[in-house]
Structure 1
Amino acid sequence: MSTKRGGLLSKKAFCRLTDLEYGELERWADKEGFPVSTILRHLVRRALEDRQRFGRVGKWGVL
């Protein structure tokens, strides 16, 4: 599988969520019409882009 950026989706990352967090994420994904994995990839990509753009901001900002 590839992305619009031309990169191959060859690596997997795992995270643990509470039932409440996963339920909220699942409802969001259902509402948007995407799988949870697509929402997570988007959030990770956004976080990485923000970090690149803004650098380390502080305790509550971009890491």
Structure 2
Amino acid sequence: MDWNRIEGNWKQVKGKVKEQWGKLTDDDLDAIDGKQDQLEGKLQQHYGYQKDQAKKELNDWFGRQKW
């Protein structure tokens, strides 16, 4: 699954995102609305990740998913 399909299925995917990154609020997830760059930004904000680390964490998580 590519990220475009994540955006299209965001309502189903955001539960998995919340399981992985519990500090993200429902309001955060609504604001992200499936946008990869928005999710990276929220990870930086809530977890103190640097930009590269946020991207790596997200890519690692994405790769582990069983779509």
Task: Pick the TM interval, shorter chain.
Answer: 0.3 to 0.5
Q: Point out which structure has higher relative CO (alpha carbons under 8 A, 6+ apart).
A: 2
Q: Which has the larger radius of gyration?
A: 1
| TM superposition score normalised by structure 2 | 0.34
**Higher helix proportion:** 2
User: TM-score, normalised on structure 1?
Assistant: 0.35
